[in-house]
Structure 1
Amino acid sequence: MIEQVFNYSTTDDFAVEKLIFDDNINYIHMVFNKDEGLPEHFSNSNVYMTVLRGTLSIALGDQEVHRYPKGSILKIPVDIKMNVKNRDEETLELIVVKAPAPVK
């Protein structure tokens, strides 16, 4: 078989699944319920976030929180302070791609 196949969960429960971590990209599936999210951190690569469902609440750098509904794709540069949360009742589901893959 030439291709590699990766599967992600289809749960509504909290999830941060590191699906593909190679020299090219990091491909991460995330699911957050209300008031869940990531610890505040700085982006360690260019980050591309796709909102699959729900509404993403995100503060970048010193900006106020911005909200993005499903169907939104964000491009965030390297070395930006990020605060990612779900502030809504509906489950938030994201695909996060880091490219190029961060140097370990």
Structure 2
Amino acid sequence: MVEQVFILSAGDEKAVEKVIFDENLHYIHLVFGRDEGLPEHYSNANLYMTVIRGRLSIGLDEQEIHEYKAGTLLKIPFHTKMNVKNLHSETLELILVKAPAPIS
């Protein structure tokens, strides 16, 4: 078998799955319920964030929180302050790609 196969979790339980974490890229699957999210932090790479389902509430640098619905892809530059949250009752599911992969 030439290809590698990765299975993402299904469901509504909180998940932060590091699906692919290698020298080329980081591919992370995230699932958050209402009022869940990531701790505020600075991006350590160029980020590509896809909203799979639900609505993303995200504050970047000093901007107010913006909301993005399913089907939206955000490109977030390196070293941007991020506050990623689900402020809604529906489950939020995201795919986060860091490329190139951060160096430690």
TM-score (norm 1): 0.99
In 2, Cα distance between the equivalents of 1:99 and 1:11? 27
2:44 is matched with 44
**What are the ranges of 5 or more consecutive residues in structure 1 without an aligned counterpart?**
none
Deviation of 1:38 after TM superposition, in Å, equals 0.1
Would you say 1:84 and 2:68 are equivalent positions?
Answer: no
Deviation of 1:96 after TM superposition, in Å, equals 0.3
In 1, Cα distance between the equivalents of 2:14 and 2:68? 19
Residue deviations 1:21-60 (CA, integer Å, cap 9, x gap): 0111000000000000000000000000000000000000
2:4 is matched with 4
In 1, Cα distance between the equivalents of 2:9 and 2:15? 8
In 1, Cα distance between the equivalents of 2:11 and 2:42? 27
1:64 is matched with 64
SS in 1 for 2:103: coil
**What are the ranges of 5 or more consecutive residues in structure 2 without an aligned counterpart?**
none
In 2, Cα distance between the equivalents of 1:34 and 1:16? 15
Residue deviations 1:38-86 (CA, integer Å, cap 9, x gap): 0000000000000000000000000000000000000000000000000
Backbone CA RMSD of aligned residues: 0.4
Whichever residue aligns with residue 91 of structure 1, its letter is T
Matching of residues 29-40 of structure 1 within 5 Å? 29-40=29-40
